[in-house]
Amino acid sequence: MNKPIQSIVVVGTDLHAWTIALGLIVELGHKGVSIKVVGRPQDERQGVLSLDSSAHSFHQRLGLKEASLISTMGGSYRYGIKLSNQSSHSSERIFSYSATGEMLNRVDFHQYLSRLNLSRLRLLAKEADLEQYSLTAQAALEGKFSHPAADSKLAKIDYNLQFDRRRYLSLLKNAAMNHGVSLIEHDVVAAKQSDDGAISRLDLTSGDSILTDFVFDCSGFIFDQVLNIQHESFADTVRFNRCLSWSASCGEATSLLNGVKGLQHGCLVTQSLPGRMAYTLNYHDQQLTDKQALEMASGLSQDLSPEQFEFGDLKAHMRVQHWVANAVAIGSVAGSSGNFIFSELFHTQTALARWLDLYPNQEINPHLSAQYNNSTATEYRRVLDVHGLLLSIVDNNIALPATLEHRIQLFAATGNVAFYEEDVFDRHQWVNLLMACGIWPQRCDVMLSDHSAQTISELLAAVKSDNQALIASMPSLDALLAAIRQAA
Amino acid sequence: MHKDKDSIRRIAIVGGGTAGWMTAAALAKLFEHSDCQIQLIESEQIGTVGVGEATLPHLRFFNQRLGIDEPEFMKAVNATYKLGIEFVNWGQLGDAYIHPFGDFGSPINGIPFHQYWMQAQQQGSNTPIGDYSLPVEMCKRNKFMFPAQDRSLLSTYSFAYHIDASLYAKYLRGYSEALGLVRHEGKVIKVNQNSASGFIESLDIDSGQNIEADLFIDCSGFRGLLIEQTLETGYQHWNHWLPCDRAIAIPCESTSEPLPYTRATADKAGWRWRIPLQHRVGNGHVYCSDFISDDEALDSLLSGLDGKPLAEPNFLRFNTGRRNKMWNKNVVAIGLSAGFLEPLESTGIHLIQLGIMKLMEFFPNRQIASAYTDEFNRVMTMEVERIKDFLVLHYNATERNDSEFWKYVSNMNLPDDLQHKMDLFKTTGRVVKYQEGLFLEPSWVAVYLGQRVQPSNIDARVSTYSQAQIESVLSRFKMGVDAAVSEMPSHLDALSNVAQNNNDGWKNASMSLYGD
């Protein structure tokens, strides 16, 4: 048997680097594996970090308690995203993570709605929207929140967390270092490869060198300058290349819904934390100059000074290989399709879990990296499907991936969801997003073709009524957050 | 009443047999309260293949969906319970292992159980991995109990049935006709197509009738009367990887208590099945005609029977592979007309069921938009291809070289996906995981380890546990399995309960396919 890994270096000091470092030290530290983070500390960009479904298991794995995270970092919860378009107020809809309604007589709930919709030719407009029957969408509109509760009608609630980005990074960094991660505050200037292509030594600006058995690259140095691994562009689907971020205090109740709003030249993402709202304007610099973007942002938050706005680049892509020899690309080095529904941190958390699942020895095994690369590339494509669908309501001219086109066509024709390997959404989440994006089936399940509109209306009214009763019993989000903070 | 003018109102199923009557029953139930007319055309002069007697746990869902009472079903088809398949002589002559409907152990600290087992083997343990599987132990001790619905050890398995497939078809015929399905006796002598679209419009049968329909289900068997002989859909052959092309089936008298598992015994140029029913044992020999004659194959089959043969041997010929499209225009191929995979893992009835379920999920209107057919074909192709890989694994993962057949299959080129899966396991002990598809991690582990595929490395995280720590965990689990199985009733007692209408346990059994 070849030798086990004894030393891992994480190159870079951003949020992704500390996520990986903490995950590695918790999983491998007690086995004697040393974890070093290498790079000069840099300012993490401001804003709100919206975590995804992968964060629940990630926190659990690291022993991070949710209530403690919420209280120490002023975090919050979210149930979904409000989608809207500047050009049409009637197109405002809510995408929620939780399933809407329940399967009845082996037929998905949304099929009942489709049946009603078809029979009434959508005359009832908003009344027929799926969100009207979504427990969490309606709760979010009332500012009410509940965790899922086993063996109850609240059992199927899905929710996600969000935190201040810099405070979350700080927490991860402190936790990692408390567990034994070493920070070496110098940049990497050169890497030595052994005959099999493995990175065996990193030379630093200090003149020192460190030996390593495995490298996670969150800086781009290894993948761009040493290994020279190419990218596959997603720019035909995600057509923004710039973003402008800022945040402003907010006296309104904390929202359980983030926002994605289509503008004439761009897309505005809003995220809510207690007492604060964060904004990100995504745009393409050929359609909107930085100056115009700043004017637009200043118009939305007039009390802020120019230095409180932060410009950034947005590169929609993925590497053609994510694990090469003994190096893995992480964070924006690995790829991105923007932070619209899934954040880049989603890929980092799943990458960590995937790599640990394939945990290698020192010897390079091409079968392990092939398996990792295949799964990782597929995951990026699945997220691109989600973001492509979302952005299609903002921009009619984007190129849809073939898998997304098939999903849309199938759903529009049949009301069924095409499910692909490594899908990042459950079926019900696809249904919620497709319908929130205004894609309605042209027919309903054959089992419902002989149900009268009256029967279905009564059934749907009962669902609404049940939801209202449940929402009435939920605490308000802000009251709950205050109670969590107080308990801490 | 249908209110949609585009709804399909007439469905014609061509062919009876297991595929035809399962389809008929499912559609009859689906359209129980509608005006959709379902007709089935079959001829008593055309025999059915009549094998496919070992099933998978999924059949329980099918029966449940039809509202079929399990004890009634079991009595009607002379069923016994099935907990897995025993593979004899596959890795090497004299080897035997059971591929169970359930797990081996349970993951520890997020690492699959078999990694700990492999580490223990490297440290000198010789306890078979089957000793850590509840259903394997149940098979070995001829026990049966319904799986629990909780998260305990007793929930870590599932079960299926051994059935008389011809009795199942007969049972479903009665079920379908009671729901209004119309059966026509006769042979199809002419297929009438729309000259512009190529869609099939009607069938002429030798009784003089003309059967019109909007949608046709081809259950005509290997020949594919509609999907191939009429629409010329094309066929992808897999003989290179699965070279067996013939089978002989024969029932025999039962001479012992029925076992709760199927047996698949590797032979000189193929393998023999043994399926224990309540009243008889089903037997068969699947073989490759390039390496063994029909007479030799028959001799081998007859010499291995438990008891006296109950019928003449039924000789079958087949081409392993799949139809290029299983849904083409307004014809859906279900069963052998869609493709053929040898019954090594009892997938025949499962693929029929899957085709029916997907047809119901994507049930079209009369225009039959490509969205329906594309998705049906995509999903079915993925399922069949993955099953193919799993079957090929059984032949390729062997140390046998005692015949030309085994020399061929152990050295043949593999499909790329399977080659990657095997390379990964051989070098790391990892199983390639996927969300969709029939055979998941425990199944692959069962075959890899049962057929002597020894990884050169295991998960490095396991190597940091001491021998004592691993031994302690494994020993505790094995004792739990031993104790649980000791308390269980025998398989024969469970079958007696069915016969005596003392069998309500199935109503509370877990419906999990591979245990929780």
Cα(A246)–Cα(A279) distance, rounded to whole angstroms? 5
pLDDT tens column, A359-404: 998 888 999 999 999 999 999 999 999 999 999 988 888 999 999 9
Contact A361 B65 (CB under 8 A): no
B229 and B335 in a common domain: yes
pLDDT confidence tier of residue B2, bands split at 50, 70 and 90: very low
Q: Are residues A69 and A173 in the same domain?
A: yes
Q: What is the mean pLDDT of chain B?
A: 93
Check if the beta carbon of residue B452 is closer than 8 Å to that of residue B397.
Answer: yes
How far, in Å, CA of B514 to CA of B508, rounded? 16
Chain A CA closest to residue B32? A447
- A263 and A300 belong to one structural domain: yes
With respect to residue B383, please indicate whether it lies within any of the assigned structural domains. no
Q: Which residues of A touch B428 (CB under 8 A)?
A: 358, 360, 365, 367-368
Query: Looking at the domain assignment, is residue B278 inside a domain?
Result: yes
Q: pLDDT-based confidence at A481, cuts 50/70/90? A: very high
pLDDT at residue A127, rounded to an integer: 56
Q: Which residues contact A262 (CB under 8 A, 6 or more apart)?
A: A84, A85, A86, A87, A393, A394, A395
Give the nearest partner residue to A409 out of B34, B371, B463, using CB atoms: B371
Best residue of B151, B423, B438 to probe chain A, by most A CBs closer than 10 Å? B423
Spell out a b/e string for A442-458, using b for 16 or more CB atoms within 10 Å of the CB, else e.
bbbbbbbbbbeeeebbe
Query: How many CB atoms neighbour CB B5 within 10 A?
Result: 8
Most A CBs within 10 A among B461, B462, B463, B469, hence the mutation to make, goes to B461
- The angle formed by the CA atoms of residues A192, A196 and A197, to the nearest 5 degrees, is 45
With cut-offs at 50, 70 and 90, classify the pLDDT of residue A344.
Answer: confident
CB contact under 8 A, A449 and B436: no
Task: Report CB contact under 8 Å: A413, B7.
Answer: no
Residues A213 and A350 in one domain: yes
**Nearest partner of B509 among B55, B61, B29, judged by Cα:** B61
Q: What's the gap in Å between the CA of B1 and the closest CA on chain A?
A: 6
Residues of A in contact with B436 (CB under 8 A): 419, 421
For residue A14, is it within any domain?
A: yes
Dump the DSSP string for B358-376. Answer: HHHHT---TT--HHHHHHH
Say yes or no: A377 and A277 in one domain.
Answer: no
Share of chain B above pLDDT 70, in %: 97
Same domain, B252 and B351: no
pLDDT of B3 higher than 60: no
Q: What is the mean pLDDT of residues A206-232?
A: 97
Are B223 and B353 within one domain? yes
Most confident of A65-69, A296-300, B392-396: B392-396
Chain A residues 33-62 with a CB less than 8 Å from chain B: 61
| Shared domain check, B350 and B229 | yes
User: Does A168 lie in the same domain as A104?
Assistant: no
Report the pLDDT value the prediction gives residue A70, as an integer from 0 to 100: 94
Q: How many CB pairs under 8 A join A and B?
A: 96
- Whether B3 and chain A come into contact, CB under 8 Å, resolves to yes
Answer yes or no: do B361 and A443 touch at CB < 8 A. Answer: no
- The nearest CA of chain A is from the CA of B442 a distance in Å of 16
- Whether A395 is covered by a domain: the verdict is no
Q: Which of chain A's residues have a Cβ under 8 Å away from the Cβ of B65?
A: 106
For residues A228 and A326, membership in a common domain is answered with: yes
For residue range B115-144, list pLDDT tens digits in order: 999 999 999 999 999 999 999 999 999 999
pLDDT at A395: 83
Q: Tell me, yes or no, whether A84 lies in a domain.
A: no
Reported as a pLDDT band with limits 50, 70 and 90, residue B1 is: very low
Task: Inspect the interface and report whether the beta carbons of A368 and B33 lie closer than 8 Å.
Answer: no
The number of CA neighbours under 13 Å toward the Cβ of B287 is: 25
Contacting A residues, span 400-439, partner chain B, CB-CB under 8 Å = 406, 409-410, 412-414, 416, 418-419, 421-423
Mean pLDDT of B8-25: 96
pLDDT of residue A90: 60
CATH code of the domain in which A173 resides: 3.50.50.60
Lowest mean pLDDT among A318-332, A361-375, B497-511: B497-511
Are residues A190 and A204 located together in one domain of the fold?
yes
Based on the domain organization, do B257 and B352 belong to the same domain?
no
Domain match, A417 and A459 both? yes
Specify whether B426 is catalytic: no
* Structural domain includes residue A85: no
Residue A65 maps to a domain: yes
| Cross-chain CB nearest to A443 (options B365, B374, B456) | B365
What pLDDT was estimated at residue B48?
A: 62
Which of A269, A285, A313 is the C-terminal boundary of a domain? A313
Tell the burial category of B256 from Cβ atoms under 10 Å away from its Cβ (0-12, 13-18, 19+): exposed
B357 contact A CB<8A: no
Work out how many domains chain A is built from and give that number. 3
- When pLDDT is cut at 50, 70 and 90, the band that residue B373 belongs to is very high
Task: Dump pLDDT digits (tens) for B303-361.
Answer: 999 999 999 999 999 999 999 999 999 999 999 999 999 999 999 999 999 999 999 98
Q: Which among A32, A368, A410 has the least Cβ separation from residue B428? A: A368
Residues of chain B with Cβ-Cβ distance to A419 below 8 Å are: 436
A365 vs B33, B369, B428: nearest CB:
B428
The answer, yes or no, to whether residue B502 has pLDDT greater than 70, is yes
Q: Are residues A372 and A228 in the same domain?
A: yes
Catalytic residue (choose from B5, B29, B82, B268): B82
Query: Do A247 and A305 reside in the same domain of the chain?
Result: yes
Digit-coded pLDDT (tens) for B398-411: 999 999 999 999 99
Tell which of B277, B296, B317 closes a domain: B317
Last residue of a domain, which of B294, B317, B340? B317
At B51 the pLDDT is 57
Q: Are residues B138 and B170 both part of a single domain?
A: no
pLDDT at residue B4 is higher than 70:
no
| Model ipTM value | 0.88
A103, A151: one domain: yes
Is some CB atom of chain B closer than 8 A to the CB atom of A476?
A: no
Domain match, A175 and A27 both: yes
Note which residues in 57-86 of chain B have CB less than 8 A from chain A: 65
Please list every residue in chain A whose beta carbon sits closer than 8 Å to the beta carbon of residue B110: 61, 356-357
Tell me, what's the pLDDT at B49? 58
In a domain, B376, yes or no: no
Contact between A368 and B427 using a beta-carbon 8 Å cutoff:
yes
Using a CB-CB cut-off of 8 Å, the residues of chain A touching B34 are 449-450
Domain housing B400: 98-158+392-508
Instruction: Show which of residues 311-370 on chain A sit within 8 Å of chain B, judged by CB atoms.
Output: 356-361, 365, 367-368, 370
pLDDT of residue B246: 96
Average confidence (pLDDT) over A164-177? 94
Domain that holds residue A467: 97-158+401-472
Domain boundary (A264, A298, A313) is at: A313
Average of pLDDT values for A305-320? 92
- Both B416 and B499 in one domain: the answer is yes
Lowest mean pLDDT among A59-63, A90-94, A100-104, B18-22: A90-94
The CATH number of the domain holding residue B348 is 3.50.50.60
pLDDT in tens, A117-161: 877 655 555 557 889 999 999 999 999 999 999 878 899 899 999
| B185 lies in some domain | yes
Residues B45, B194, single domain; the answer is yes
Chain B: closest CA distance from residue A267 (Å) = 31
What domain count does chain B have? 3
Q: Residues B275, B415: one domain?
A: no
Please check whether residues B332 and B201 belong to one and the same domain. Answer: yes
Does one domain contain both B234 and B325?
A: yes
For position A88, what pLDDT does the model report?
Answer: 62
Among A330, A353, A381, the domain boundary falls at: A381
Grade residue B192 by pLDDT with cuts at 50, 70 and 90.
very high
Same domain, B259 and B306: yes
Q: First-to-last CA distance in chain A? A: 49
Find chain B residues with C-beta within 8 A of A27's C-beta.
Answer: 461
Per-residue model confidence as pLDDT tens digits over B410-456: 999 999 999 999 999 999 999 998 878 889 999 999 999 999 999 99
More confident residue, A352 or B516: A352
Q: What is the pLDDT of residue A96?
A: 96
Residue B34 is predicted with a pLDDT of 85
d(CA A449, CA A439): 20
A125 in a domain, yes or no? yes
User: What's phi and psi for B106, nearest 5 deg?
Assistant: -145, 155
Indicate yes or no: CB of B371 within 8 angstroms of CB of A365.
no
Q: Which of A101-105, A434-438, A477-481, B455-459 bottoms out in mean pLDDT, i.e. has the lowest?
A: A101-105
3-state secondary structure chain A: CCCECCEEEEECCCHHHHHHHHHHHHHHHHHCCEEEEECCCCCCCCCEEECCCHHHHHHHHHCCCHHHHHHHHCCEEECEEEEEECCEEEEEEEEECCCCCCCECCECHHHHHHHHHHHHCCCCHHHHCHHHHCHHHHHHHCCECCCCCCCCCCCCCCCEEEEEHHHHHHHHHHHHHHHCCEEECCCEEEEEECCCCCEEEEEECCCCEEECCEEEECCCHHHHHHCCCCEEECCCCCCCCEEEEEEEECCCCCCCEEEEEEECCEEEEEEEECCEEEEEEEECCCCCCHHHHHHHHHHHCCCCCHHHCEEEECCCEEECCCEECCEEECHHHCEECCCCCCCHHHHHHHHHHHHHHCCCECCCCHHHHHHHHHHHHHHHHHHHHHHHHHHHCCCCCCCCCHHHHHHHHHHHHHCCCCCCCCCCCCHHHHHHHHHHCCCCCCCCCHHHCCCCHHHHHHHHHHHHHHHHHHHHCCCEHHHHHHHHHHHC
Task: Name the residue among B26, B117, B20, B36 with its Cα closest to residue B66.
Answer: B26
Mean pLDDT taken over chain A: 92
Q: Is residue B35 part of a domain?
A: yes
A107 close contact with B: CB closer than 8 A? no
Per-residue pLDDT, averaged over B486-494, amounts to: 95
Residues of B in contact with A446 (CB under 8 A): 7, 30-31, 360, 363
